[in-house]
Amino acid sequence: MPENIAYKDAAKIGKNFSCGSFCVIEKDVTIGDDCAIGHNVVIREGTQIGNGVRIDDNTVIGKEPLRSKRSIFKDKNKKGKKYSPAKIGSDCLIGAHVVIYTGCELANGVLVADSAAVREDVKVGELTIIGRSCTVENFTTIGKKCKLETNSYITAYSNIEDYCFIAPGVITTNDNYLGRTEERFKHFKGVIMRRGARIGGGAVILPGLEIGEDAVVAAGAVVTTNVPARKIYLGMPAKEFRDVPKDQLLDEQGWEE
């Protein structure tokens, strides 16, 4: 048997469960059938995990958020907000050194690669990929079959619809006031990506902007205005280049559902 599994007997664990050494599985955790847990994994109280889930070494599921006294979210927590437990759907793959916060929900078949972080109040749709060292901040919704690649940063209050693609090193933002003046609290807004939108490597998207359905932002672009549906934008600041070719549109691929 593995060494030092804390609270194992207090959790509800399904058939064919395997677990490495020095794990902590807190009370009221539910783990489905055919799950495999690596070494030094921590699964916090109440977490719900489906069937066929793999969680690799040194990962934490259900972490409580920290709140600085200067945090913009402090007013939301004055009454001691109680987050719902983290929910991990069936057939998810969670890499090593991942942190998934309480109040986060992953649908079936999601992959979260090594060293990624997914914050509280985040929902991720089925079969989406969250790449290595990617960060998804709180109050964000991500649709199904999206791909967020290595080192991409998804700011708080963002909405990413189905089938979107975000290349490595993309940065999204939500604060036009760069942390100064009380006015900023009225305008906090993340990025909206409509169905099938794509962003190339190293692009920067300014706060509150919308990338239209099937639109493309070229690598290295700095986006300062909304990008219309099915248009390609490039440059610094990004300007319209041309239409997205018809054969590149999502509806032409035959696999979107």
103 and 50 in a common domain: yes
> Which pair of tokens denotes residue 118?
């997914």
Q: Which residues pair with 159 in a beta bridge?
A: 141, 192
Looking at the chain, the whole-number percentage of residues with pLDDT higher than 90 is: 81
pLDDT grade, residue 79 (50/70/90)? Answer: low
139 and 160 in a common domain: no
Summarize the confidence of residues 195-203 as an average pLDDT.
Answer: 98
Distance from the Cα of residue 191 to its chain's centroid: 13
- Residue 225, domain extent: 152-178+189-249
20 and 111 in a common domain: yes
Contacts of 140 (CB under 8 A, 6+ apart): 119, 121, 122, 123, 154, 155, 156, 157, 158, 159, 160, 190
Q: How many alpha carbons lie under 13 Å from residue 104 in its C-beta half-sphere?
A: 26
Q: Three-class SS of residue 37?
A: strand
Q: What is the pLDDT of residues 201-235, one digit of tens each?
A: 999 999 999 999 999 999 999 999 999 999 999 99
226 and 138 in a common domain: no
Work out the mean pLDDT of the chain and round it to a whole number: 92
Q: What is the pLDDT of residues 97-156, one digit of tens each?
A: 999 999 999 999 999 999 999 999 999 999 999 999 999 999 999 999 999 999 999 999
163 and 110 in a common domain: no
Asked if the structure places residue 257 within a domain, the reply is: no
Asked if the structure places residue 81 within a domain, the reply is: no
221 and 134 in a common domain: no
The identity of residue 126, as a single letter, is E
pTM of the predicted model as reported, rounded to 2 decimal places: 0.92
Q: What CATH number is attached to the domain comprising 57?
A: 2.160.10.10
Residue 77: the pLDDT is 47
